[in-house]
Structure 1
Amino acid sequence: MRKIVLIATIMTLLVAFQVAALPTGLVGWWQLDQNAEDSSDNNFDGTLIGTENYEERAGFGYAHLFDGATYFQIPRDPLLEPQNIISVEAWVKRDGSPGAYKHIVAKGSIGCGSSSYAFYTGGSGGLSFYVTTAGYKLSPSVAPAAIWDNEWHHIAGTYDGAYVRLYVDGVEVGTGTSATGNIVYPVEDLYFGRFNEMCGGYNYFQYSGYLDDVRIWNIALTADQLAYYDQDFDWVFGDDDKCAGTVVDVPDENLGVNRHVWYGGDYFTTLVPAKKGTFIEEASPFSMADTLGCSCEQILQKLKDEFGAQMVGHWNFGCSKSVMDDFVLDMSDGVFDGLYLLDTVTVPSNQNIASAVEVIMPDQTYILEASGTYQYATWAGIPVADAKCSWRGTADPLGYINQWLSGDLLPSPYTNYLEIKVNGGVVDWGVPSGTCNADNIYKMEITGVDHLDFNIYDGGATGDNSGSITVKIFAQV
């Protein structure tokens, strides 16, 4: 569902959200995310009449494509009939005008003359908003080429008891049309995609094209309130948008020349959604709240500008998920540790090779962190508890067998019940942290490689290790 997208478009790794409050007065909200349910508190659910044709809309869930015969019907309710103040919003898209007098959102009908309020295409095939009070009051119109250009546009119509206005993408069209009095409401339903009367054989003036996210308010939204529909459409409102006017998606080529690549040269594909809206507890004078509405690349630049050399490594790595994940952690705990988890590899026993998926930059330092248990309980006299502590470099629990088990790989007094090799070579994993009763953790640095393969060699005679060892790969900057 797109409900969260309205509030903040953000990857799942971010831990909390903050948004500017929507104005009060929302009486109906139909997201058209594969149904006609009302997402306001009033439950004005509608019914689809005709062919269902929902299509995905990137970043916004789904939209409905009307075919000129399909429509939605929402039962009448007094809350959908504000008297002398109203706002109606929607998103529309179509390649070319749908034709003259087509009704997109229309409340009831007063004979063949007009609806109580409606978006419609008028005689030019463009777009207008109107209300019917003592007479028919039409907002200034937008030309067909400016609205029906195969791009998504946000439209809003308002009536405040003095003027009828139309906004497209947050910008008012003209200066409004003078109007007074209460809106006239016959006892009829609300429709999306058609007028409510078949007049003169015009087939209800039915709309063909895309429609999404219809809302009705019992207030007149102001130009400032509608400014949250700025050109970047990131749902970060007004002054809260610290990077207003930027596009929603950041193309691959703008993600930093030194970012990680897959083995073979293709770009790192786990990219962060480009827009965010997040707030976490401040750990410094600069917080993630200062990046509301910014793209990943802009967040990198803001952090680099604020923290200087501490952020150079973040910048060089570009917009990978792991780097953004670390930003959030660093900003929350105030510790810029420069370790970015890139991959976790589970290494099977008995010389089976496991490879890291993420690619390595040869001039970059990496930290490998191995942990797990070694189960070699078939060896007579070696308790399982000891075996779990002895997968690499610990003292021989039964000292008299160290030469047999270690062979040529390690000198006495070490055992080598099994050895994790990196890229086919024996490496020094150093001294483990932790205790013998816990899964030991070994760390090592590695650089100058363009890939990582791991495999386990049993040191024992029978080669039947059944342990499980995991290697985490961190970039160090």
Structure 2
Amino acid sequence: NAGYINCSLWTNETSWSEKEGNISVITNNSINTIAETFTTDGTYLWNVKCVNSGSLSAFSTSNWTINIDSTAPTYSDNSTNTTLVGSSTLFVLKWEDATNLSGYIFSFDNGTGSFTNDSFVEFSGILNWSNVTKTVNNTVGSTIQWKVWSNDTFGHLAVSNTYSYITIGVEHFEITLSTPLNNTFVKNEYVYTNFTVIGTESTYNCWVYVKGLKNNLNSSTQNNTETSILVNVSIGENSWYVNCTVNEISNTSETRIIIFDISTEIEFISPTENNGTTIGTTYTYINTTITDDLNTTAFIDWNYSLVGLWRFDNSTDFLDHSSYSNDGTNNGSTYNSFGKFGGGRDFDGVDDSINCGNDSSLNFGSSSFTIESWIKSDTIQDGKILYKGNGTIDFINGVEYTLYGDGSDSISFYIWDGTNDAWADTSTTVFDGNWHHIVGVFDGTNVSIYLDGNLEDTMDATSVGNIDTSNNDLIIGSTNTYTLGNLWNGTLDEVRLWNRALSEEEINASYNTRFYRLENNFTGLSDGTYKYTAYVQDLAGNINNTETRTLIIDITPPQIIIYSPENITYYDIIQVDLNVSADETIDTWWYSLNSGTNTTFSPNVTINIIDGQNNITVYANDTVGNENSITVFFYIGNTSFTFEYASGLNKLTFDATGYSGTFAAINQNSTTPAINITNIGNINIDINMSVNTSIESCITFYISEDNTLDTGSDYNITNSNHTVLTNIIENASVSLWSWAVFDSCTSGNLYSYALYYDSFAS
């Protein structure tokens, strides 16, 4: 009808909706075109909606169907039912298409190497079979090849793989081994061998031979069917093959090798310290024994110094097996079941790498560290085995440490602080397609590189300062720029990173414990607690380890305190208590009095001493033999002097106004006045004092009108056994009289006494 001004396309491609295509000017009774792009193959409905100038709209009276098909047919399930020479053989493929198949062409060389195409055969539907029967030639051992071409109704063309098989004669058969592959390592003595017999008979009598001897039998092996036979292998290399017999005709497969490697045993042996031992030296020797007939790699994780261990032992193993969990993120590398020890990782040299992050444990600054890895490559290259830094090795960018191919047939170990660098290179061929063990060591002074256990190069590195890589990820197989030419091309296994310099003994054991014992003398140790574990891995990937042991280093001697005797003068004693302690557990105590004989003791003891100057030296050692001593000096004054009031009751006499006579005695410790005295004249104090003649020049007697004993009247004693009579003139203002004995030879010790009286007779 006339009058329509706009038409639009509607489809159900995702949901029933209007599409972007439309026509704004419509020609009546003529073909009008709207274009639409479909993004997905399939069958869809479509319609057109038109609107006239009066805003009235209408759809077509029915929906239309369209098939979108942009892909070629696919195939599967190829088979041939026989390979006998001169036989009629059926060749079959299953074909599928999203919309509709058109047909196929069968192509066949019949063992000549030159293909001939059959005529086009039509078939239809979304699924069909190409079935062709051919008579194969009569030449035994011919390689018969065939393939099929097919297209759909839209003209999309596909071709199958080229399939092939070998023709056999009457009663001739072939034995094909599948698994295990040659030189496979196994961890169990029982192994399934898998093979297929292809011949003209339905069943065969098949033996698996191991080391040339019959091992196990399947007497009804089916033709053209994979068969499994369980065999028993012994430790080490086991050659094996399959021999089958039918109608007194036999045939033998190729020979392969199975390597049975049991879990390797490792243990600590003498002179390794027992767990929990405390020693008083700055070194300890660790020794191990490993039980394995084949090559193994082994190491000691001393005090958690292993900061990265990437074993790559299975298809998803990018884990760090050290204590630090510096796990990797894979970027393209592929699993290789034939690593050096178990599995490994293949890197293509184009875009493969593993990023292990930027944990602080991977930044060594100016401290020692070690990189090691097993490598296998036949390509001379600049690829990086391990890299941490902020640029390529161009002496312009930042800082870095790396182990890498140097562009010639060698490997380099390189460090750079941004200003100064150092490196060491291997001198032996490494890119020969064989496994090699590479170790780079920085010991704080030199950089060194080892190849297969041998030191190949050393360079002074004292000019290199702080290698601060704290802002950069650690990359295995590339630099952090991932630029072509810096990526490793080959296989890596057992990549390890240490925060210390490995010794030559450790490097040799890591290379091959079959020839080198795992042992090491750890030196330069300070006080502290250390933990260590030894690990071993065999060629099959079996891993074992010792228990974790703890070692305590104690080189600090015990600190001794003498509480008694003190550095003073003692009187009226003939023994002292020796009272001591220490800040740790003591194994043995002993002392020497006045530089005499050493005497062992257990705190605390009583010791007989002599008059005069004495000294005691106390010794102690702890449980690991650290020894210390301390000396105290003291003086014994037993015969310096004796001091008492004069004998008799009349210790004090008084001349008093209006009274004279003897009063009752006053005890030296008494606080009770003897008599009420209102006016005292003279006070006589009788004091008996005996002084040893050897020190009488040291003794002074003081008397004072107050309690300041270093002033006032004094009386110096010049000989022994004196009776001192002191006449004191009364001073009415004085209520306290004091006297004292002063011994100037023994640090000025004072022995004082006082007499009080009350002038008011209260």
TM-score bracket, shorter-length normalisation: 0.3 to 0.5
Instruction: Give the TM-score normalised by structure 2.
Output: 0.28
TM-score, length basis structure 1? 0.43
Higher share of residues assigned strand: 2
